[in-house]
Structure 1
């Protein structure tokens, strides 16, 4: 049996679909019910979402001011949840085209905290690494939660508990960035973390790239 991988990750960016609404309506739970469909005459996308655990009046109000939403309608209304059909604007940032281009498959996607959690299937490790690089280039915050291998000697590894050989300076940078909430949507900026470490933002960026490269080599290499 050919070995492949399933990765669970959290991504966040102010322009990801429904992010303003997610950050406005406390506790809302949203799951994507469909793959994006393209407008016949526009470049926006249409998705169906299942929405639970919220005041729907507050949710509807948040949609009206969400810059990633063009139009919306409720297609199913149950006692405890609704299904929305949402027409997204051109400002909405999707990573699904890149996922498809890399040959990855979205198994599921849902909201977690103030971002989106994705479960992806990948035929090899390199394509997951390429998706991480894409997110980094697009300034999309990316956190790998779990990585599962399928096939012979299948295993599961937690992104947060992988044993990675970092230098003392890299550990200091990683600890400081984590402590200041750099990886959180509302945490410290790169400039603030760099100032705390008394280094330039470009030096911080170099450190973080090397740290993440080591993490991904540890997770994706045999």
Structure 2
């Protein structure tokens, strides 16, 4: 029976890890359907809070062979890049095990990922692969597929959920607001820009999951 695993992964040579360290205020999300095609070697990323400093970090990033700014919208940029050969990735191994990377979002240490895997054996194989490669793999949650696809399950990352819950509990959504992004940032241990991005993206996904007709 298939399952969904939610984990944090980290390694100094993991994809974009140097850029993440140099630009902690920037939020990066993988365009997930591109992470399972090892033939092209191309990956797409949505980046919120990117500026010239982020582009400079990409130039210095030893995990990036080449990159292109595909689109620059008002609040988010779309980048396409190719990784260097020494870059450590878990998406090709996930695909080889018959799995799929559903989501990947940058964290302070690396990436928060949501993986769809065929069974527990595949998860164990992926964990052993990460151990051999020296990749930190911290498993937080695991669901059988039938435990969440038959009911309501908004597509939120753990970080978006934490930010939304913290904002609600602190009165961020009250009128007038009872807290600020700066206070939430201090509570969560991240930057105000990162908090604002997680709240916006999480709110958007809640609206899409609950209010839009499909």
TM tier relative to shorter chain: 0.5 to 0.7
Q: How many residues align?
A: 149
Equivalent residue, structure 2, for 1:48: 44
- What is the DSSP-based 3-state SS (H/G/I as helix, E as strand, rest coil) of the residue aligned with 2:46? strand
Determine the C-alpha separation between the residues in 2 that align with 1:36 and 1:97.
6
Deviations 1:125-149 (A, max 9, x none): 1111111111111110110111112
**Structure 2 counterparts to residues 90-129 of structure 1, below 5 A:** 90-129=85-124
Are 1:7 and 2:5 counterparts? Answer: yes
**Structure 2 counterparts to residues 62-211 of structure 1, below 5 A:** 62-151=57-146
- Tell me the TM-score normalised to structure 1 length: 0.61
Unaligned runs of 5+ in 2: 151-214
Q: Structure 1 39/65 Cα, relative in aligned 2: closer, same or farther at 3 Å? A: farther
- Tell me the TM-score normalised to structure 2 length: 0.64
Determine the C-alpha separation between the residues in 2 that align with 1:37 and 1:102.
13
Structure number with bigger Rg? 1
Q: RMSD value over aligned CA atoms?
A: 2.4
Deviations 1:56-81 (A, max 9, x none): 11100101110011211111101111
Are 1:28 and 2:26 counterparts? Answer: yes
Equivalent residue, structure 2, for 1:19: 17
- Between Structure 1 and Structure 2, the one with more helix by share is 2
